[in-house]
Structure 1
Amino acid sequence: MPPSQPFSRPLVFAALLAVVLFWGLNVVVMKAAFVHWNPLGFTGLRFLAMVPLALGIARLRGESLRIELRDLPALLICAACGYGVYQYFYVIGLAHTTVFASALLSSLTPVFTLMLAVAMGLERSRTGRWIGAIIALFGVAVFEGAFAGRATIRLGDALTLVGAMIFAGYNVFAGRLLSRYSPTSLIAITITLGALMIAPGGLWGLAHQDFARLRVSDWFLMLYSVIFPMVIGYQLWSWGISKIGAGATSIFNFGVPIVAGFAGVMFLSMPVTRYEILGAAICIAGMAAAQVLARYSFTGLWTQLTVPAER
């Protein structure tokens, strides 16, 4: 549908809520899969299935997969930060923490993206966004029990947090490449390159996989993790961005840890403490505030209020 044609905003919102559901449930699905699947073996097979699907979707949509030589370093960085290196931290982290912690800490990527973009001189951020980022990081401290006398950072939490920092590199470099590559082409190319980086760990995981333990349900978990978050989810997400913009679409991402938390309690009997709920609420509120207040500079506002107007 061309952008100039009318579209149903409720339909777009419904599609984005479906994506939030797919992504939130996927954290629970992967955690459940790791009971019988070797985490790295699961990831290796998952990407083995995702590569032809991503390439096939790009071809069906008539997208070019041609790589310009000057873009190869940036594409390799995107592949590593978005998939190849990131997945090692994310998957091993998820295997050693709760689905709630994994989803919440992973959702901090926009905060780290902001920090990286500013550090590289690619973006100037307004005060409002920094205030939201500080609130979000404070929420993580509360979540980890820093103010409840139980401050213990689990190995999985640390790995997931590092993974969120690494994924910020994908956002920054992908943003620079999207002027020459379509989102579908960029995903297909970087997934393919990232799969090559995942292959060594995937092969190691499969070599240590006890296939006799796998049930039919374990293969269905794999199928869900390939089709719904990737094939359906990313396409709906991109469609949402094309209709209502990246800023409005990104607000929906804050629902992922909420879905993951509820699903973890319902399906995995995951224990959740009061300070984790409070910390998660503060963190999500901070990230939402960073988006809403992104256009405001409180320094400029203060200047306007305190400097007398010229008459």
Structure 2
Amino acid sequence: MKNKFSYIYLLMILPPLFWAGNSVLARGIAEMIPPVALSFWRWTIALIVLLPFTWKQVRRDWPTICAAKKSIFLLGLLGIAAFNTLLYTAAHTTTALNLSLTQSVMPVVIVVISFVLFHERISRLQLFAIILCTLGAGYIIIQGDWQRLMQLEFVSGDLIMLFAVTLYGLYSVFLRKRPAIHPMSFLTTTFTVGVVLLLPLYLWEWQHTPPLELNPAVMFSLLYVALCPSILAYLFWNRGIHEVGANKAGLYINLVPLFASFLAVLFLGERFQSYHLIGIILIASGLLLFNLPLHRTGRIRI
């Protein structure tokens, strides 16, 4: 059992890494790919990759899928069609710093939604752990300079991103209502919902924006977002939430700005700074505290 959960926690580290790459890439190619086109082709390519391997399993699970069509539609709308399209839209009007700052509040959003909708409580120690992780993520984002908080300028993209984070928080919490079907069937059906919902928006955008130029940068970007932050990240994320719950899994979102900083060091030539180390210590401490046994910690309502 211990090895199993160690494996699950290892898997939970990968989605934030892939999503950090997604956020950095979204900002970097904002001028090359319109937001709906990026989202539509991301999920379309991911679906094309999945179908040859999953259609037989989907056919076996079809009766259960039909019985749970409302849940699958809701999860496909929230987690597939809405969140990423809004993130890519926000990337056109706000900074990468603000994108990361907004995503760092997702664990708190998940905890609040879990309590409001399902009366799921957390301990005082876990609440303190959430605060530590949020501070760690925020410290990396502001680069250790609290004065930067006063200099942040919030625009429409920030409000769009906050709405996107709320929707993904709902997706994460509602995963407990997912039907009892194979994980690959679940990915295939929710990806299909996302593609179908995005198609009319893509056709509308296609008529009002310049044609997409398939240069190497665009093709690499589409392949990356289809494989890593889509298929792999969602498979690992959904499995992790199934095993450890939305509150505990949501805390790993705080790794997104940390990984984004590492990616900037690796690919953009930025230097590793002391605030990165402080952020790492705070996030690691929060994750450790949140996962301590609860037999000596009283639960509280938030």
- Please tell me whether residue 23 in structure 1 is matched to residue 19 in structure 2: yes
Report matched runs for 1:197-276 at 5 Å. 197-211=197-211, 213-235=213-235, 245-246=243-244, 254-264=254-264, 267=267
Match of 1:194 in 2: 194
1:93 shift after superposition: 1.8
Q: Are the structure 2 counterparts of residues 70 and 287 from structure 1 closer, same or farther at C-alpha, using a change threshold of 3 Å? A: farther
1:20 shift after superposition: 4.9
Equivalents in 1 of 2:36, 2:269: separation in Å? 24
Q: Which amino acid aligns with 2:73?
A: L
Equivalents in 2 of 1:200, 1:52: separation in Å? 19
1:103 shift after superposition: 4.0
1:167 shift after superposition: 0.8
Match of 2:158 in 1: 157
Identity across aligned pairs (percent)?
20
Q: Are the structure 2 counterparts of residues 241 and 109 from structure 1 closer, same or farther at C-alpha, using a change threshold of 3 Å? A: closer
Match of 2:294 in 1: 295
Equivalents in 1 of 2:249, 2:117: separation in Å? 25
Q: Is the CA contact (8 Å cut-off) linking 1:138 and 1:282 kept in structure 2?
A: no
Q: Are the structure 2 counterparts of residues 117 and 36 from structure 1 closer, same or farther at C-alpha, using a change threshold of 3 Å? A: same
Equivalents in 2 of 1:187, 1:293: separation in Å? 31
Aligned equivalent of 2:69, options 59, 63, 72: 72
Match of 1:185 in 2: 185
Q: Is the CA contact (8 Å cut-off) linking 1:42 and 1:202 kept in structure 2?
A: no
Q: Which amino acid aligns with 2:93?
A: H
Equivalents in 2 of 1:23, 1:164: separation in Å? 13
Match of 2:78 in 1: 81
Q: Is the CA contact (8 Å cut-off) linking 2:134 and 2:283 kept in structure 1?
A: no
Q: Is the CA contact (8 Å cut-off) linking 2:36 and 2:205 kept in structure 1?
A: yes
- Please tell me whether residue 171 in structure 1 is matched to residue 172 in structure 2: yes
Equivalents in 1 of 2:279, 2:208: separation in Å? 36
Could you tell me which runs of 5 or more consecutive residues in structure 2 were left unpaired when the two chains were aligned: none
- Counting matched residue pairs gives 293
RMSD of aligned alpha carbons: 4.3
1:17-67 deviation line (CA, Å, top 9, x unaligned):
665543332322232222211122121222222233344443365762444
Report matched runs for 1:93-172 at 5 Å. 93-135=90-132, 149-172=150-173
- Name the larger-Rg structure: 1
Equivalents in 1 of 2:279, 2:102: separation in Å? 9
1:110-148 deviation line (CA, Å, top 9, x unaligned):
321221111113423222233333455566777578765
Q: Are the structure 2 counterparts of residues 193 and 11 from structure 1 closer, same or farther at C-alpha, using a change threshold of 3 Å? A: closer
Q: Is the CA contact (8 Å cut-off) linking 1:37 and 1:214 kept in structure 2?
A: no
Match of 1:307 in 2: none
1:253-295 deviation line (CA, Å, top 9, x unaligned):
54332221232465457899999x6996698468636733583
Match of 2:49 in 1: 53
Q: Which amino acid aligns with 1:159?
A: I
Q: Are the structure 2 counterparts of residues 95 and 170 from structure 1 closer, same or farther at C-alpha, using a change threshold of 3 Å? A: same
Equivalents in 1 of 2:174, 2:76: separation in Å? 10
SS in 2 for 1:25: helix
SS in 1 for 2:122: coil
Equivalents in 2 of 1:107, 1:101: separation in Å? 10
Equivalents in 1 of 2:172, 2:62: separation in Å? 20
Equivalents in 2 of 1:290, 1:55: separation in Å? 40
Q: Which amino acid aligns with 1:126?
A: S
Q: Is the CA contact (8 Å cut-off) linking 1:129 and 1:294 kept in structure 2?
A: no
